């Protein structure tokens, strides 16, 4: 095995470390009345989880500034405890024992303070089984793990069943007037990898030149793992593909088929992915007709994608341009921001990119995708076109749709661009589509690895940062040899932000682009 191959595999392994998902943050305030009580905190765990991660932080001392026995607060509480112990010892130990105990308490006040708040927790899985206990003396402010094959001390490894897990927050002692606690819970998926595919293709069942079987064979030659058959307003090609539409039969060397159709209306085209039933489009008027179609697609369990929104429309290509100005973007799952060759279609790809980023600025997490709109064989091999690469747990219809919906998507015309983010104080490595948590005052590290098997020269790597209500801006840029490069950037993000990366030629033509990694600021303790 060549050194280059080994290095590529090492970079991939580094990047493909499962990211933390489902980060939930809980906050609360306790007081002395909560001492010797238990609070139950339930949290959901989805299927396919390999590891649970938990972190608990709280204010442990009597007074934030004065931690010694000479502080008024400590002295007051200690004297109150002396009276309580004096009553107990005097009842059962007699006068001599009481005298000895009083001397001990006075000495303890000087050498054993301060008194501390004490919070621990126990974890129960969805079946009610005890999975371990977090002791603040050992794990304070640290992430602890409960995994399928291993776990941190105090916890039991084993299968991670889905359902509602429970944390028992044990409030042993609260000696301050108030005690703020912060609890963070997340998990890691069990497995996953990148899959390459095409999301928009036609056959002889509409206006394509390839039969369904021929389309699959050509897609296999192009090295695709999946391809969507999306004929215009018909689903008849799905039965003619001579294979199971859910991906069974992949051993034949053909890509998995994503069933769907292109909703070809008079005022815009949309791609419905993951459905096997015909959808009537004739009532998709300019009012809210397309919004109603999107709702129907969702009811069928599919995803709704806006297709080539700025391509030439009526009368050049009737309906190809998106004219639904009242589109409810909350029902849009995907948007084609890279349609066909970037160079040829730059006049409609650039505004599509602008619209996409405008939606991100409004807080809408629409997944950007590439699509060739395949009608002929050569379009799968045309320079400047891009694959849509999806991170999924397996090559199944459900997993690919989940990856698309979550935004775990990269678009590339060839180079492998691996984009990730880490934050101090937060577990794991985040990838496109993830929501990362970054502690207040801390920084994030953005990593970009670039690889290509084709001879190539330098290209420009850019990190784009967006914030709510503002236009996205190029945060970092650097020239890199895309035959092999690894770049690292750091940034101090605002409270809400997203980052994506892109790779362009010296002429400004797009080579690859990622979906955003979303960052939320928070303070969960150190």
Mean pLDDT of 337-359: 89
Query: What dihedral angle (degrees, nearest 10) is formed by the CA atoms of 259, 264, 268, 270?
Result: -10
Query: Of 411, 445, 471, which residue constitutes the final position of a domain?
Result: 411
Residue 277 binned pLDDT confidence (cut-offs 50, 70, 90): very high
Confidence class of residue 525 from pLDDT cuts 50, 70 and 90? very low
Residue 6 within a domain: no
Shared-domain flag, residues 41 and 150: yes
Q: How far apart are CA 283 and CA 288, in angstroms?
A: 10
pLDDT above 70 (res 195): yes
Q: How far apart are the first and last CA of the chain?
A: 43
At 197-206, the pLDDT tens digits run 999 999 999 9
Report the distance separating Cα 449 and Cα 430, nearest Å. Answer: 14
Predicted pLDDT at 169: 96
How far apart CA 135 and CA 378 sit, in angstroms, is: 63
The total number of structural domains that make up the chain = 3
The answer as to whether 160 is a domain residue is yes
Residue 403 lies in a domain: yes
Is 199 in the same domain as 258? yes
Query: Tell me, what DSSP letter sits at residue 250?
Result: G
The radius of gyration of the chain's CA atoms, rounded to the nearest angstrom, is 29
Residue 89, domain member (yes or no): no
Q: Are residues 204 and 315 in the same domain?
A: yes
Q: Residue 217 maps to which CATH number? A: 3.20.20.140
Mean pLDDT score, 215-224:
94
Maximum CA extent, the chain: 105
Give the C-alpha separation, 258 to 276, whole Å: 9
Structure tokens, 78: 């200690």
Q: Which of 496, 253, 228 is CA-nearest to residue 370?
A: 228
Kindly give, in sequence order, each residue whose CB lies less than 8 Å from that of residue 463, ignoring residues fewer than 6 positions away.
446, 448, 474, 475, 476, 477, 489, 491, 499, 500, 501
- Residue 511 resides in a domain: yes
Q: State the sign of the Cα–Cα–Cα–Cα dihedral 281, 286, 290, 292.
A: negative
- Indicate whether 421 and 484 sit together in one domain: yes
Q: Are residues 393 and 260 in the same domain?
A: yes
Using the predicted structure, report yes or no on whether residue 151 has a pLDDT greater than 80: yes
Q: Mark which of 370, 389, 411 sits at the end of a domain.
A: 411
C-beta of residue 126 within 8 angstroms of C-beta of residue 163: yes
What per-residue confidence (pLDDT) applies to 1? 32
Token digits for 154? 């105090």
pLDDT of residue 92: 65
Residue 77: name the closest of 37, 117, 36, 135 by CA.
117
Query: Do the domain assignments include residue 238?
Result: yes
Verify that 360 and 386 share a domain, yes or no: yes
More confident site: 383 or 244:
383
Task: Please give the pLDDT value at position 439.
Answer: 76
Domain boundary pick from 360, 385, 411: 411
Q: Is residue 280 part of a domain?
A: yes
Q: Look at residue 349 in the predicted model and tell me its pLDDT.
A: 92
- pLDDT for res 241: 75
Residues 185 and 319 in one domain: no
- pTM (2 d.p.): 0.70
388 and 429 assigned to the same domain: no
Residue 99 has pLDDT above 60, yes or no: yes
Tokens of 470: 């503002």
Domain limits for position 505: 414-526
pLDDT of 453 strictly over 60: yes
* Helical ranges in 17-175 per DSSP H: 72-111, 136-139
pLDDT at 40 over 80: yes
In a 10 Å sphere around its CB, with 0-12 CB exposed, 13-18 middle and 19+ buried, how is residue 462 labelled? middle
Beta-carbon count within 10 A of 431 CB: 26
Q: Are residues 262 and 340 in the same domain?
A: yes
439 CB burial (10 A radius; 0-12, 13-18, 19+): middle
pLDDT at 526: 36
**395 and 456 both lie in a single domain:** no
Kindly indicate the confidence band of residue 398, based on its pLDDT and cuts at 50, 70 and 90. very high
At residue 472, the pLDDT reads: 83
Whether residue 275 contacts residue 261, with contact meaning beta carbons closer than 8 Å, is answered with: yes
Judged by average pLDDT, the poorest of 5-14, 22-31, 201-210, 495-504 is 5-14
Average pLDDT of the residues in 17-33: 76
Q: Distances in Å between the alpha carbon of 200 and those of 315, 328, 348, 360, 371?
A: 22, 22, 17, 23, 6
Residue 467 vs residue 19, higher pLDDT = 467
CB 247 within 8 A of CB 253: no
Question: Does residue 371 sit in the same domain as residue 228?
Answer: yes
The confidence band for 520, taking pLDDT boundaries of 50, 70 and 90, is confident
> Domain of 53: which CATH number?
2.60.120.380
What's the order of all strands across the beta sheet hosting 37-45?
37-45, 163-173, 118-124, 130-134
Task: For Cα atoms 311, 418, 215, give the angle at the middle one, nearest 5 degrees.
Answer: 50
pLDDT band at residue 132 under the 50/70/90 scheme = very high
Same structural domain, 392 and 468: no
Tokens 């069974």 found at = 248
Q: Please compute the mean of the pLDDT values over residues 79-100 and round it to a whole number.
A: 67
Helices (H), 16-71: none
What mean pLDDT comes out for the span 468-473? 81
User: What is d(CA 198, CA 372) in angstroms, rounded to the nearest whole number?
Assistant: 7
The enclosing domain of 508 has a CATH number of 2.70.50.60
**What are 417-451's pLDDT values in tens digits?**
888 888 776 666 788 998 887 777 778 888 888 87
Q: What percent of the chain has pLDDT over 90?
A: 44
Note whether residue 5 is domain-resident. no
> What phi and psi values does residue 117 have, to the nearest 5 degrees?
-65, 150
């Amino acid at each position: 095995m060549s050194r280059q191959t080994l290095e590529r595999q090492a970079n991939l392994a580094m990047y493909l470390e499962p990211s933390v998902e489902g980060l939930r943050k809980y906050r609360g305030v306790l007081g002395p009345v909560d001492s010797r009580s238990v609070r139950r905190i339930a949290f959901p765990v989805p299927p396919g989880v390999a590891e649970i991660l938990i972190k608990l932080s709280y204010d442990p001392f009597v007074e934030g500034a004065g931690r010694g026995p000479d502080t008024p607060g400590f002295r007051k509480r200690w004297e109150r405890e002396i009276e309580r112990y004096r009553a107990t010892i005097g009842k059962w130990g007699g006068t001599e024992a009481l005298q000895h105990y009083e001397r001990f308490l006075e000495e303890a006040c000087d050498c054993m303070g301060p008194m501390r708040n004490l919070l621990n927790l126990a974890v129960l899985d969805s079946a009610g089984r005890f999975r371990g206990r977090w002791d603040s003396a050992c794990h304070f402010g640290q992430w602890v793990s409960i995994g399928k094959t291993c776990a941190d001390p105090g916890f039991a490894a084993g299968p991670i069943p889905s359902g509602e897990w429970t944390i028992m927050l044990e409030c042993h002692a609260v000696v301050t007037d108030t005690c703020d606690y912060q609890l963070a819970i997340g998990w890691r998926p069990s497995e996953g990898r990148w899959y390459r595919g095409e999301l928009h293709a036609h056959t002889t069942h509409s206006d394509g030149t390839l039969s369904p079987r021929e389309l699959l064979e050509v897609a296999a030659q192009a090295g695709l793992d999946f391809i969507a058959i999306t004929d215009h307003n018909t689903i008849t090609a799905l039965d003619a593909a001579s294979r199971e539409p859910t991906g069974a039969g992949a051993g034949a060397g053909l890509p998995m088929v994503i069933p769907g159709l292109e909703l070809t209306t008079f005022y815009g085209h949309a791609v419905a992915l993951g459905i096997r039933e015909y959808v009537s489009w004739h009532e998709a008027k300019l009012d809210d007709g397309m919004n109603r179609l999107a709702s129907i697609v969702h009811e069928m369990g599919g995803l709704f994608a806006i297709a080539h929104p700025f391509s030439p429309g009526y009368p050049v290509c009737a309906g190809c341009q998106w004219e639904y100005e009242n589109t409810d973007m909350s029902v849009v799952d995907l948007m084609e921001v890279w349609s066909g060759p970037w160079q040829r279609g730059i006049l409609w790809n650039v505004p599509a990119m602008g619209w996409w980023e405008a939606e991100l600025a409004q807080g809408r997490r629409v997944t950007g995708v590439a699509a060739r709109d395949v009608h002929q064989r050569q379009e799968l091999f045309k320079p400047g076109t891009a694959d849509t690469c999806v991170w999924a747990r397996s090559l199944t219809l459900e997993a690919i749709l989940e990856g698309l919906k979550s935004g775990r998507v990269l678009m590339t015309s060839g180079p492998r661009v691996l984009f990730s983010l880490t934050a101090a104080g937060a577990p794991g490595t985040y990838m496109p589509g993830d929501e990362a948590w970054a502690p207040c005052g801390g920084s994030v590290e953005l990593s970009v690895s670039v690889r290509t098997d084709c001879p190539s020269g330098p290209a420009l790597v850019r990190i784009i940062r967006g914030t709510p209500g503002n236009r996205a801006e190029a945060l970092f840029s650097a020239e890199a040899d895309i035959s092999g490069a690894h770049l690292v950037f750091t940034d101090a993000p605002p409270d809400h932000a997203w980052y994506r990366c892109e790779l362009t030629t010296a002429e400004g033509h797009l080579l690859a682009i990622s979906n955003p990694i979303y960052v939320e600021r928070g303070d969960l303790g150190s």
